[in-house]
Structure formats: structure tokens, C-alpha cells
Amino acid sequence: MAEKLFSFRWDIDHRACMTDGIPKVQSLCREFGVPNTFFVNMGRSTNLKEWLGGGLKGTKAKLTDMEAINLIEKIGWPRFILETIMSRPVGRSFVSSLQSLQADGHELGLHGGSDHVVWSRKFAQLPEEFIVEDVSKTLEFFESVFGRPTGFTSPGFKSDERIMRLVQDLGFEYHGDAIGGMPHRSEADGHKLDHWTIPVTVCGPRTIPYLEWHGAKKTPIEDVMDDFQGILDEERLVVLYGHPCYEGVEIETLRRIFEAVENSGFDFVTHADLAKRLANNQLSLN
């Protein structure tokens, strides 16, 4: 791979991602003239029944997590409570705004099914047939307003061979449910599949986005940029991810990330473009 490629992947989980972050991200991308990839949660991001049935304990744990910035810190208690009670869908509520991203040359992918919370917290318990039916119905609506998506990602990176079979059967060209390493053919039941795994290459611990992790640690911006520049100096493929309700709001930090990528000679590409290059053997994996 002679050229250097950079892809920024956004997970649009919550309505705040659309209202608070996407307008700023879209404006910055227009300023730089670059495409990004956005995975859209078409269903709800909060669920009152799940929260009352055990989610409160999880919320308390997240409030004390020193490596991540929890949703309440991002949007405040009033909005968190309002959205938990109303459980309004995300992607379905912002079709025109998402179509505007497409018109700007950005890629839209599908992010899970109809309930982000259930997938994230009860994934292991969900029957495969339930997952298939849920994603199939969500995909049908996605296609009706945005066209056929190339890629799929699971909420919270919660994925296994059931998802690999699903991605294969529904005709996606890639999925993004991996951290670290290089792109590779996905596998299930001991066999290589037709679609690709495109991992996030730069991340904090667990699955915490790189910039959010540094934000939670209150790392000085100059130290963040020095660390990130070191990554750019060493790698030829860099895949970063974040959420518009955090990284999209911290727009000046994002601007510096984009500047560093551009100044280091990287080309901005979408995940769909990476998948196309992989399929055409135009991306060296050595």
C-alpha cells in the first residue's frame, strides 16, 4: 500500500449526535473537502423499561468510569431523562439531515437494529432469529430512504458469528466490529466469508474512542496531538472512530486531527472505498 489512507468512522447512537454534533462535523468536512463514514442507529437509543430493569446500575457504573465520558456528562440529566422516557428513534427522525450527508459525499451505514440498548446489554441472550428479523426490517426502512448500505456495525461492538452470518446473508460488503489489526476476510463456522472486517485501528482501552479516552483523562491537547502524530508517522492505514455527541462537539480538537492527517500526506476515504479497494486487491495488507 504505497498511499496513506485515513478513514473516520462515526457511530450515530443518540439523537444528541444528530442535533449537537452532525452539523459541526458536516461543516468541518466541507471546509476540508473530505468524506467520512457514518453508521446510523435507525431505532431508539434509550429504553425506559431496560433502564429501570437494571440499567440504573449500569448508569451508576458509567458515572464512575474514569476512562470514558458517559452520556449524561455529554448531554446532561434533563435530556437524558427526557429521551429515556420518550425512547424516540434516531435515524428515522432525521432522514433529511442524513440525506444531506449523503449529498455531500459521505457514506451512511447501518448500526444495529431497532433497539440500541437491548443489543448492547442483552446481546448474548438474543436468539439469532430475533436478530435477523430485527435487522432485516431495519435495513428495509434504511434502504427505502438512503439506498443500499455497504457496511454494518453492531452497537457497542457486540458481535459474534451470528452477526457474521447475518452480514453475509444480507449482502453487506463489510462490517466494522473489530478493534486493532488490519482489514481481513470475515469468518464464521470455520470458513472465510465474502465480506470484510474493517477494524478501528486507533482506540482507547476497551472500545472507548481515542479522543474520548484522552478527554476523560484530561490529557492536554498538545500531548494528544503529539501521540497522534506518532501514530501517523508509523502507520499507512489509520481508522479512527467517535460519536458526534462528543468528538463532533469538541470541534477544534477534531479540526487539529484533520489538519494532522492532511499534513501527514493521508487521503481521506470512506469505509466503502476501503472495502472496494480490498475487493479489487488494491489495498496491500502487508
28-51: per-residue pLDDT in tens?
999 999 999 999 999 998 877 776
Q: Is the pTM above the cut of 0.75?
A: yes
Cβ–Cβ < 8 Å for 8, 241: yes
Q: At 20, give phi and psi (nearest 5°).
A: -100, -35
Cβ–Cβ < 8 Å for 109, 273: no
Q: Which residue has the cell 470512506?
A: 270
3-state secondary structure of 147: coil
27 exposure class (CB count in 10 Å sphere: 0-12, 13-18, 19+): exposed
Per-residue CA distances from 260 to 151, 226, 228, 229, 255 (Å): 27, 10, 8, 7, 9
pLDDT in tens, 253-274: 999 999 999 999 999 999 999 9
Which domains, ranges and CATH numbers included, belong to the chain? 4-279 (3.20.20.370)
Chain centroid offset of residue 58 CA = 21
Residue in 46, 37, 27 with CA at minimum distance from that of residue 118: 46
pLDDT bracket for residue 1 (50, 70, 90): very low
pLDDT in tens, 77-95: 999 889 888 889 999 999 9
- Assess whether pLDDT exceeds 90 at residue 61: no
- As a whole number of angstroms, the distance between CA 107 and CA 121 comes to 27
